[in-house]
Amino acid sequence: MKGNISQFRTAIDRVSPDIRLYLLYGADVAGAEEWASRLARSMGPQAERVDLDPSMLKADPGLLAAEAASTSLFASSRYIRITGIGEESAEAVAMLLGAANAGNPVVALGPALKNTGKLVKLALAAPNALVMACYVPNADEAERLAIAIGQEHGLRLSRDAAAQIAAAAANDRAIMTREIEKLALFLDAAPERPVAADAQGWQAIGADLGESELWRATDALLDGRLDQLGTELNRLADAGSSAIPLLRGIVRRLTTLAQLRAEMDKGATPATAIERHHIHIRERAVTARALRIWSGPKISAAIQRLGEAERATMSAGNAGNVLSDAACLAVARMARAPR
């Protein structure tokens, strides 16, 4: 069945036993990743995560239902995650939704799925599945989204603050959430003790998300040029640059690639998609090359890897830029791997 943001939030936060499948599709890969991470938090730190690849489900459609009904040997609970799910998994999803038992929730991310496809239609018709289309919000939607996220963390954001956070995050839900979490921590806010927050408060702790000095590293990563990427990472380290703007800049570029690939899946040529999304002229050549390199599943996996690196880098007692550098090099290797 189709779910809106409120329904998804309620079902995920309570891990509703009535929902076997949470299906997120559409170009907003970062937003879908944030919902998947929210399910992980709801399951608890001791929950076992089982990752299944769409190719595995194509080869063995019964695997998904079997894993959903299995009991963990090492944890009190478990959940299943599928990144880059596509039409090849429709049979597996049908078996999951029709199985007699399936106690472990499944969250599936399909940036390339279409609402006219068999898999989405199957999930929409099932009462034990919750489906939501994830699209990158425009400025007004992102402002309202920032205010709503702030309320979840005990912040009463002013419209000015919400607009600045959304603009700095390029309307990316995941980045907005991280910035709002930092602001809530800074102001000691919580749902049970709400605090008003204006733009001045956010500016005191907001990260500089400018990309101009990070373009060379990002371009090298998208191309899979490991040697040049290493050189650029060393240059940024020597300059004392924070890892966070680099990681976020790369995620924004990958999110744009996901949107372009969605346009191409509808029949657009790379040149048409690039023109329609008003890609800056200096980024057009590397973007065209990246569209030949980066598939939907690879984009999703890369965003997940970089998101994990950001969270690790922002945690207490971390290894600093070593973590982000390792993640960037790992993602650059993805660019060199077969599609």
pLDDT > 70 in the chain, percent: 93
| Amino acid type, 320 | G
CA-to-CA separations, 93 to 66, 96, 100, 130, 244, in angstroms, rounded: 11, 5, 14, 12, 37
Q: What is the pLDDT of residue 339?
A: 62
pLDDT at position 90 is 95
Taking Cα atoms as reference points, which of 175, 215, 242, 220 lies closest to residue 336? 220
What residue has token string 């191309």? 223
Question: Picking from 56-65, 135-144, 167-176, 329-338, which range would have the lowest pLDDT averaged per residue?
Answer: 167-176
The tens digit of pLDDT for each residue in 98-145 reads 998 888 999 999 988 988 999 999 999 999 999 999 887 788 888 998
**Predicted local distance difference test score (pLDDT) of residue 246:** 84
171-228 per-position pLDDT tens digit: 777 778 878 888 888 888 888 999 999 887 777 665 444 455 578 889 899 999 999 9
Residue 249 or 105, more confident: 105
Q: What is the mean pLDDT of residues 260-285?
A: 81
**pLDDT of amino acid 204:** 66
pLDDT band of 19, cuts 50, 70, 90: very high
**Does residue 59 contact residue 91 with C-beta atoms inside 8 Å?**
no
Look at residue 74 and tell me whether its pLDDT is greater than 80: no
Range 167-174 average pLDDT: 75
Instruction: Calculate the average pLDDT of the chain.
Output: 86
Instruction: Check residue 65 and give its pLDDT.
Output: 94
What are the φ/ψ torsions at residue 28 (nearest 5 degrees)?
Answer: -80, 80
Query: What average pLDDT does range 279-284 have in this prediction?
Result: 74
Question: What was the pLDDT predicted at 208?
Answer: 46
Separation of alpha carbons 319 and 58, rounded Å: 39
pTM > 0.95: yes or no: no
Give residue-wise pLDDT tens across range 297-332.
889 899 989 988 887 877 656 666 788 899 999 999
The rounded distance, in Å, linking the Cα atoms of 14 and 25 is 21
Report d(CA 7, CA 332) in Å as an integer. Answer: 37
Residue 258 has pLDDT above 50, yes or no: yes
